[in-house]
Copies of this chain bind each other. A is one copy, B any other.
């Protein structure tokens, strides 16, 4: 059984049909949305375990940074402002030097994202980090389910860097600038909080790219009950990976790699100019990569007419070992 089936079979039915009116969004999005005291709060939790979400021997400061950044990215996907973070650390034994570096990474990301660590717990066990984030939504939280027919699909930044980094993890010696760059994409992703807030009013649906572009876009298609066509040649492959992998691998890393923590979103085409302007002002490329239509599923189309649906099968599932 895959993680998604697990969630569909056991957790989604949990709600039944009767969520209370203060719960705007329950299980199944990047975060839940609840109404408290006139504010909408986004609430998310992410757990990272050794050997699944990070490799043994990762620098503890990178681990601390990455654990917080990937959790906070869920807030960007909801267009929420992250505010309160709690941390659960499971660890076999406490080494002072390791802990100091880990905390340094946590602190760096928390400060970078203008959040506060308000609580946590530590337990003895296999190395694992759980991060819960509470954020304040703008007036319009963005869900995976909001894509509309004829929307355009866009993505922030460049894709494929983090996946390309995997082959260079844990190597000794000074990396080349390109390798250093992709390692940074993997270890220290940048949650697109500020950019998402600027795009908020134009978005109809959004998700962050954690499991792979096609898989994550598939979530928007599925929850919005629409079909999404992606144009392979439009996907913004990270230019810095071109010297590190073949062209085919670069394309695959961008389409199916995951871990880039960019935001994919859909919007009405009338807002294209405004969205383009926001990207230019933020100095972060925003690229239109597809369209929303009637139907279901995701197709990856080529400008030359081919269909590359096999990408849809290659997203990251936590209960399969990573290839």
Binary flags per residue of A45-59, CB closer than 8 Å to B gives 1, else 0: 111111111000000
Q: Is the CB of A6 within 8 A of B99?
A: yes
- Complex CA gap A121/B132 in Å reads 11
Known A37-B37, A128-B90, A134-B134: A46·B119 in contact at CB below 8 Å: no
Instruction: Let me know if A23 and B116 touch, CB within 8 A.
Output: yes
A39 sits at the interface (CB 8 A): yes
Segment at the B interface, from A27-35, A161-169, A192-200: A27-35
Cβ 8 A contact of A86, one of B10, B84, B124, B132:
B132
Q: Which residues of chain B are near A38, meaning CB under 8 Å?
A: 37-38
Tell me the minimal C-beta distance from A84 to chain B in angstroms.
5
A122 within 8 A of B: yes
Closest to A94 in B: B1
Closest to A28 in B: B119
Residues of B contacting A122 with CB < 8 Å? 3, 6-7, 318-319
A195 to chain B, nearest CB (A): 23
- Selected from B1, B51, B119, B128, the residue in CB contact (under 8 A) with A44 is B119
Contacts of A103 in B (CB 8 A): 10-11, 14
Q: A272 within 8 Å of B by Cβ? A: no
Assuming A1-B96, A36-B39, A43-B134, is B90 touching A49 (CB within 8 A)? Answer: yes
